[in-house]
Amino acid sequence: MQKRAIPVEFEELKSSGTLPSPAGVGIKILEITRTDEFSADDMGQAIMSDSSLTGRILELANSADRAGQEPITTVSAAIMRLGATTVRNLALAFSVISERDDGSCKAFNYPLYWSGSLARAVAAKSLAQHVPGVSSEEGYVAGLLAEVGVLALATVHSEPYAKVLLETRGQPMSVVLAAENATFDIDHATICYCMMLDWGLPESFASAVESFNLDRLSSKEAAELDSLSDLLRFADAISSAMLFTATTPPRRINEVGEQIEMLQQVLEYSDADLDRLLGQISGEWSRWGERLDISTCDVSFSSIREAIARGREAFKKEVELQTGGAIRCESVVADTIVTTTDAVEDARGLGSERIKVLAVDDDPVALRLLVATLRKQGFDVTFAKNGSEAMRISMREGPDIIVADQEMPEMSGLELTRALRRSKRGSSMYIVLLTGARAEDLLVTAFESGVDDFIQKPFDANFLLARLRAGMRIVGLQRRIEEDRRTILRQLADKNNFNRRLKMLSLTDLLTEVPNRRHAMERVESEWKSANRRGTQFAVVMVDIDHFKAVNDTHGHDVGDRVLKSTAQVMSSTLRGEDQVARLGGEEFLIIARGAVLEEARVLAERVRIVVEENIVEADGYRGSVTVSLGVAAFDQGFTGVSEMMKAADDAVYQAKNLGRNQVRGARESSSCADEPHKRRLSA
């Protein structure tokens, strides 16, 4: 399958530098695997530099769906079992998750987004055995990353996207996509597709994820589970059911219930079978949630069925109240995307400038003293009892300052520092090491590892505060820098959006809202160069509205303008996705048909002629239709240049008018070849 061209709107998003992306080991893996000739050994070495990532890869390679196979203990064995490409994609997905952050989009529920993504991933992994050609690992990766386009918009355009999310909450997916396109000239489905390709994932994978986002809950009469996009839809229904809350709209619950029933029919499962499946997914969701530090909850098929029954009853009452029993259900945005207003306000309750400090010590007495000292000084303090717990809390909550003991089991203060400095989030934290040692070599090693300051134990409270003041100044500077960075990026995004809209306006006919003459000629020149360089085909169709002057003279220019706009719209709706109609001026239009030879363009032109003739225009007392004369010229006719091709199409239009109007003529076509059926119809 041929890759689509990456739209300029995505390149602008990417240039902001804030798109969700792999980091740390993920960046190394991207660099290693930029070509198909990458070394599995090099990729394995990169993965093994991160013990947490290594554990996750090994766990998937030894998962329950591979029962009966010998357990493996090395990354190289995992690569042999799963395949280098699968391991690469898993590593990239886990790398993206490891860099997650609670961003600044107030209407976006970040914790629920990641919880839903993990639930969808686990569900897709379990269902993959029923889909030909899709591995469980591929389903897992797709489930994790399926909505990354939504996360991208929330990250890059936090404020305007918050408005979009709140205004479209509970609306059909088509409304959400349209609102995104209206605001950003790109939607989250297209962003997903582009990000997958940018990370080196296959075109088929990217297209499946895009298809899932375009049609979250399929309304097929005959349910199917034979592709990755089908798998994602059913997995998303399961994850949505697992995340039902008291605020989930009844219509959403009804849709999810229908999808789960559809899945049960496809799998030919009894209630007991489905109960076992959901129990397995729920258990694995909880285990992976603990490993990835993502919130989960205990659910069962019986609780889901009860929620669906209650939701359907509420939905039925809504239908009766609103429409008297007639309503058409469309897919809505998942509740994992937005929060209620109350939740938004609660999530932003940390708006003060209090410094967040994480205290770490394995000695309970020392930890209690440290926490009490810090809280007495007005810090917002959390604590951890060892280095591993501190690592998880740091990645989840992002403290400004960490005060950690050096001598701890599982992970020492130095090991904690090194691990944090390898991540983007941990690189900016101010780390103070508590140590009872006085050896200079330890202090040198500490600073080389990334420690910002150290304090001898036992510490004096006033001395500790004095040393932390330096950290507070650094944190203050970092906050100002981050705020300035966000402001600059927001201004850059707004500027790009504004410039893009200006360019669009400069290339758009304001009356008909289709491209103008300038855009049309640029497009024709581009198609001509492409045809010469790559051997592709294209054709142009010149269109002229018949007797348009009479419409203006008889009914006025307001009616004439309405005729022009309506004709442009009906022509646009008739064309293929790769074709385009533009207004050249007056009552003249140009259709550019990519990939079409002369005969194919004639068929297209005839279809346009018919729909224009059948289109009824109503405006200010006027009700009627117009006809058009069309001239076709194609690259395969051997023209020497764009000018000759355009003139040939224009000459064909005049020939069509001379032969009676309301007909299609091809360039270089003799007058004796006039379309007899059209002539007979006109004379009748």
Domain assignment present for 244: yes
213 shares a domain with 169: yes
Q: Are the C-beta atoms of 497 and 184 separated by less than 8 Å?
A: yes
Residue 118, CB half-sphere, CA atoms under 13 Å: how many?
Answer: 27
For 219-228, letters b (16+ CB in 10 Å) and e give: eeeebebebb
Q: Are the C-beta atoms of 605 and 649 separated by less than 8 Å?
A: no
Q: Are the C-beta atoms of 411 and 391 separated by less than 8 Å?
A: yes
250 shares a domain with 125: yes
**What's the total number of domains in the chain?**
4
Give mean pLDDT, residues 116-132: 91
469: left (phi over 0), alpha (psi -120 to 50) or beta: alpha
pTM of the model: 0.61
Q: How far apart, in Å, do the first and last CA atoms of the chain sit? A: 49
Judged by DSSP in three states, 437 sits in coil
Residue bearing tokens 């959901």: 278
DSSP conformational letter for 672: G
DSSP conformational letter for 626: -
Per-residue pLDDT at 346: 29
CATH code of the domain containing 185 = 1.10.3210
d(CA 58, CA 464): 42
Confidence of residue 101 (pLDDT cuts 50, 70, 90): low
Per-residue pLDDT at 423: 78
How many CB atoms sit inside 10 A of residue 484's CB? 10
d(CA 327, CA 319): 7
Q: Are the C-beta atoms of 303 and 119 separated by less than 8 Å?
A: no
d(CA 166, CA 162): 6
88 shares a domain with 36: yes
Q: Which residue from 92, 528, 112 is spatially nearest to 289, judged by alpha carbons? A: 112
671 shares a domain with 531: yes
CATH code of the domain containing 460 = 3.40.50.2300
Q: Mean pLDDT in the chain?
A: 82
Per-residue pLDDT at 16: 67
Cis peptide before 458 (omega within 30 of 0): yes
d(CA 38, CA 660): 66
Which of the listed residues 290, 313, 347 is the one where a domain comes to its end?
A: 347
Amino acid at 215: D
DSSP conformational letter for 5: P
d(CA 663, CA 656): 6
Of 22-31, 273-282, 441-450, least confident by mean pLDDT is: 22-31
Domain assignment present for 313: yes
pLDDT in tens, 288-304: 888 787 888 877 778 88
Domain assignment present for 272: yes
Confidence of residue 393 (pLDDT cuts 50, 70, 90): confident
Domain assignment present for 505: no
Domain assignment present for 640: yes
Per-residue pLDDT at 66: 62
554 shares a domain with 660: yes
The per-residue DSSP string of 30-60 comes to: HHHTSSTT--HHHHHHHHHT-HHHHHHHHHH
The DSSP bridge pattern shows strands 538-545 and 588-594 to be antiparallel
How many CB atoms sit inside 10 A of residue 424's CB? 13
Domain assignment present for 263: yes
Per-residue pLDDT at 561: 93
Per-residue pLDDT at 674: 46
DSSP conformational letter for 4: P
| Beta bridge mates, 543 | 589, 630
The CA R_g of the chain, rounded to the nearest whole Å, is 31
Is the pLDDT assigned to residue 630 strictly greater than 90? yes
Q: CB neighbours of 526 closer than 8 A, spacing ≥ 6?
A: none
189 shares a domain with 92: no
- Domain ranges, residue 377: 356-480
CA angle 540, 545, 549 (to 5 degrees): 145
Per-residue pLDDT at 27: 75
pLDDT in tens, 2-11: 567 787 778 7
Give mean pLDDT, residues 247-252: 78
CATH code of the domain containing 642 = 3.30.70.270
pLDDT in tens, 330-361: 444 444 444 333 333 322 223 345 789 999 99
Q: Are the C-beta atoms of 591 and 604 separated by less than 8 Å?
A: yes
156 shares a domain with 31: no
Domain assignment present for 26: yes
Which of the listed residues 294, 320, 347 is the one where a domain comes to its end?
A: 347
d(CA 266, CA 294): 31
Amino acid at 332: V
Give mean pLDDT, residues 660-675: 76
Residue bearing tokens 């949505």: 240
Confidence of residue 246 (pLDDT cuts 50, 70, 90): confident
Per-residue pLDDT at 675: 46
Q: CB neighbours of 452 closer than 8 A, spacing ≥ 6?
A: 430, 431, 432, 470, 471, 474
Q: Are the C-beta atoms of 50 and 450 separated by less than 8 Å?
A: no
429 shares a domain with 316: no
The DSSP bridge pattern shows strands 580-585 and 538-545 to be unpaired
How many CB atoms sit inside 10 A of residue 76's CB? 17
Confidence of residue 439 (pLDDT cuts 50, 70, 90): low
Confidence of residue 102 (pLDDT cuts 50, 70, 90): low
pLDDT in tens, 589-598: 999 998 899 9
pLDDT in tens, 547-578: 999 999 899 999 999 999 999 999 998 887 77
Residue 267, CB half-sphere, CA atoms under 13 Å: how many?
Answer: 23
d(CA 16, CA 490): 9
Is the pLDDT assigned to residue 327 strictly greater than 50? no
Of 30-34, 271-275, 531-535, least confident by mean pLDDT is: 30-34
d(CA 38, CA 657): 62
450 shares a domain with 382: yes
| Phi, psi angles (nearest 5°) of residue 246 | -65, -20
Which of the listed residues 296, 319, 347 is the one where a domain comes to its end?
A: 347
CA angle 18, 503, 558 (to 5 degrees): 135
pLDDT in tens, 147-170: 999 998 988 888 889 999 998 887
SS3 content of the chain, % helix, strand, coil (to 5): 60, 10, 30
For 308-321, letters b (16+ CB in 10 Å) and e give: beebbeebeeebee
Domain assignment present for 308: yes
The DSSP bridge pattern shows strands 622-624 and 588-594 to be unpaired
Per-residue pLDDT at 584: 93
Confidence of residue 684 (pLDDT cuts 50, 70, 90): very low
Q: Which is higher by pLDDT, 58 or 172?
A: 58
147 shares a domain with 88: no
326 shares a domain with 217: yes
Q: Which residue from 250, 281, 279, 256 is spatially nearest to 127, judged by alpha carbons? A: 281
3-state secondary structure string across 221-240: CCCCCCCHHHHHHHHHHHHH
Residue 437, CB half-sphere, CA atoms under 13 Å: how many?
Answer: 13
107 shares a domain with 74: no
Q: Are the C-beta atoms of 324 and 160 separated by less than 8 Å?
A: no
Give mean pLDDT, residues 442-451: 83
Of 31-40, 630-639, 662-671, which has the strongest mean pLDDT?
630-639
Is the pLDDT assigned to residue 229 strictly greater than 70? yes
Of 213-217, 523-527, 542-546, least confident by mean pLDDT is: 213-217
Q: CB neighbours of 684 closer than 8 A, spacing ≥ 6?
A: none
Is the pLDDT assigned to residue 480 strictly greater than 90? no
